[in-house]
Amino acid sequence: MKNMIYRFFLICCLWNLAFSGNCQQRYQANWESLSKYQTPDWFRDAKFGIFIHWGVYSVPAYGSEWYPRNMYDTASDEFKHHVATYGPQDKFGYKDFIPMFKAEKFDPVQWVALFKKAGAKYIVPVAEHHDGFAMYNTALSRWNAFNMGPKRDIIGELAKEVRRQGLIFGVSSHRIEHWWFLNHGREFKSDVLNPEYADFYGPARQENETMSPEFMNDWLLRCTELVNNYQPQLFWFDWWIQQPALEPYRKSFAAYYYNKGLQWNKGVVINYKYDRSFPQGVAVLDLERGKLDSVRQLPWQTDDAIGNKSWGYIKDNTFKSARYVVTNLIDIVSKNGNLLLNIGPRSDGTITDEETQVLLETGKWLDVNGDAIYGTRPWKIYGEGPTRSASGSFADQTIPFNSKDIRFTTKGDTLFVITLGLPSEKTIVHSLDAKSNQGKIEAVSLLGSTEKITWSLHSDGLVINPSANYPSAIAAVYEIIFKK
């Protein structure tokens, strides 16, 4: 019966994909057709979004958001902690945290107001993490926040409030990783072996086992259900969608989603991790805690967390500074990228003071200097200076930038020169020397300030004297106007 339901819903989805009657429809489920996709301007202009890892794993608040996997791994610290704190896993399993996940202080109005004040333009909550607990009202699983735990449609409430406050709404799905995520629970006596909970803990298979058609159909159905019910303009996937067996389903979802975007008359974005998931240009590349060392012609994104130890809330997390966030945002934007910055709320729905402070300080900088970030495009080079970022996912971002590190962005005929620190001595922009043929400089001003900036052009570069009073902390932005 369950397989018949899967097939029925899948046929309905594919029928809608093929025969929606939309005269603008153009995408088919093949790479040649999907290669016509172009990243929408809203994403290229937005530059900065907020990611939210929040779920049942915020209740134990130990280790990381991978607690549900590691609590069943007998070699892990989470396993020992779980047994000592809650008892053996056949008596108290991951499912038993769900009634403790009450979200009693969750206030979407307050959340979105904070994100907006931080300067974010799009919001991406996790709709379902690897643990298999859906944070939305779904017809495809009883294990969801609308029926259990908070008994609220978390994704629906956020979607409504994000749009009410004028921001772009997206979602992430980590459902495909659930294929293997709880497999350690099959290795000893635990509640994962109890057939009563198979629809939550299962399949719990090995990573090297090819996914079943039923599981992949279920993945496609859950994704299309999220699209239909919440109309996200960004859909973020984690790394495991790169599995070869999933390729036909990836194509079907991309065509369905892109055609829905046409139907809504709204640009939509799929984020993916590795090139084995989507060919370049078919969707938008995302680098987890990653960077690039030069300008990429295609738009891309870094996802990173304010928390150092975990994406979800844990009690002993440490946090990045606003300086880290702002300087990395500038560096990423100079290379044609966006930053999706993650927070991890507590199980009651409150956001930590540390994350709140970082968000507010980031927003304070963007209030003054946002013209050099939002709606910009990269210059011919990303910048100059002593610090060159490593390239790739999980690239080392701990090396601090300084005032001699310069990044460039452009908007129309204006060039923004951004120092990744507040200069206390002359700034020399070597890329704008007298022989650079960039055009004759008409004016140099400090964004957010009425102070007259003194500058001069020399054979080794544009020399800008330091300001007596910078209008914002962390980084300075000079606006360069050329004579026409």
Q: Mind listing the domains of the chain with CATH numbers?
A: 2-372 (3.20.20.80), 401-482 (2.60.40.1180)
Report the distance separating Cα 365 and Cα 259, nearest Å: 38
The number of beta carbons lying within 10 Å of the beta carbon of residue 31 is 15
- Supply the pLDDT for residue 362: 98
- State the amino acid at position 387 in one-letter form: T
Predicted pLDDT at 303: 98
Q: How far apart are CA 168 and CA 42, in angstroms?
A: 9
CA end-to-end distance (rounded Å), the chain: 71
Going by C-alpha positions, the residue among 62, 126, 68 that lies closest to residue 93 is 68
The pLDDT of residue 20: 46
| pLDDT score recorded for residue 484 | 80
How high is the pLDDT of residue 2? 47
Q: What is the pLDDT of residues 219-238, one digit of tens each?
A: 999 999 999 999 999 999 99
What is the pLDDT, as a whole number, of residue 390? 72
- Residues with pLDDT less than 50, the chain: 1-7, 18-23
